[in-house]
Amino acid sequence: MSKKYLEKNVLEAAKERLTIIFENFDNIYFSVSGGKDSSVMVQLANHVAKKMEKKFDVLYIDLEAQYRYTIEHVEELKQLSQVRDFYHITLPIALRNAVSVLQPKWICWEEESKHLWVRNMPEDSINIRNCPFSWFKKGEEFEEFILQFANWYQQKYQGKVACGIGIRTDESLNRFRTIAFQDKKQTFQQYNWTTKLKINEKHIEVYNFYPIYDWTTEDIWGAVSQLELKFNYIYELMYKNGVSIYEQRLCQPYGDDQRNGLDQFKALEYDTWGKVLNRVNRSQFWQYLL
């Protein structure tokens, strides 16, 4: 963090970073998950963009097996005043399945598994029937989709593109390294909170930026309270169920880390629970749940 940021609180610093982005990029999108960090980020961005009379886009990759409250919160974010296009993705993307040795991956929104879908597909989503991405193939990896979307978005609008990511460095060493080591990445105007993207070791004109990288969990909830921001109510239920604010996670449910919290579905959204149980091969499922 540069010296001048040490003289500011994290809220002021985040707003300054967002202002820098809106001043230097005409086409900006924010990647959101429905979780607390990306939610606060995009609502702050909306506040800054409104003052500057700017617009931005939002990318949300819907992984199907989500809490009902997460989807309700995503619908709230669609109503932000400065959102131009909201890319609600419900494509058949391959995801890790750490609860079965027989089915190490599963594909969300797969047409062949429609009878097992956890939820109905949103009517306004980008799906396999209306997909505008000529490069997309069923079973594409999540990480690959993110890169290809960035490249597609840049080609659509041309010029420099900025993508806002709501990661915080206090959550993992890898996230800290993403921000800290400038000698191993190309940045926008030497701002350490930006990273120029590469596809197959070739840079493209897209910069990821991390406006809340130095925030803590307390900062996130402090902003929600002080600024009266919208938030995903599932966090309130998690807290009431005894989950610390430092341990609350929202991700696709069958990953290596997320499997330890699968029982939360049972406690928080029992009607979703049964559908989650039946969605993937369960040969190793019950040892994590019983």
- Yes or no: say if 128 and 111 are a contact pair by the CB < 8 Å rule: yes
pLDDT band at 2 (very low <50, low <70, confident <90, very high): very low
Q: Give residue-wise pLDDT tens across range 21-45.
A: 999 999 999 999 999 999 999 999 9
- Yes or no: say if 99 and 285 are a contact pair by the CB < 8 Å rule: yes
pLDDT at residue 3 greater than cutoff 60: no
Domain 3-289 falls under CATH 3.40.605.10: no
d(CA 282, CA 103): 9
d(CA 278, CA 274): 6
* pLDDT in the model for residue 255: 61
Looking at residue 140, its amino acid is E
d(CA 41, CA 150): 19
pLDDT band at 286 (very low <50, low <70, confident <90, very high): very low
Closest CA to 189 of 25, 31, 6: 25
- Yes or no: say if 147 and 31 are a contact pair by the CB < 8 Å rule: no
d(CA 115, CA 112): 8
pLDDT at residue 1 greater than cutoff 50: no
Tokens of 99: 């609860």
pLDDT at residue 110 greater than cutoff 80: yes
d(CA 43, CA 52): 14
* pLDDT in the model for residue 93: 97
Average pLDDT over residues 119-148: 96
Task: Please state, rounded to an integer, the average pLDDT across all residues of the chain.
Answer: 87
- In this structure, which long-range contacts are made by residues 123-130, counting pairs with CB atoms below 8 Å and at least 24 apart in sequence? 124/88, 125/62, 125/88, 125/89, 125/90, 126/87, 126/88, 126/89, 126/90, 126/91, 127/90, 127/91, 128/91, 128/92
Looking at residue 202, its amino acid is K
d(CA 165, CA 38): 7
CA end-to-end span of the chain, whole Å? 45
d(CA 151, CA 198): 9
Torsion of CA 116, 59, 184, 25, to 10 degrees: 170
What are the E-state strand segments in the chain?
A: 27-32, 56-61, 83-89, 93-96, 105-107, 140-141, 161-165, 194-199, 202-209
pLDDT at residue 213 greater than cutoff 90: yes
Give the distance from CA 99 to its chain's centroid. Answer: 23
pLDDT at residue 229 greater than cutoff 60: yes
pLDDT band at 136 (very low <50, low <70, confident <90, very high): very high
Q: Using DSSP bridges, classify how beta strands 105-107 and 93-96 pair: parallel, antiparallel or unpaired.
A: antiparallel
Tokens 């058949």 found at:
92
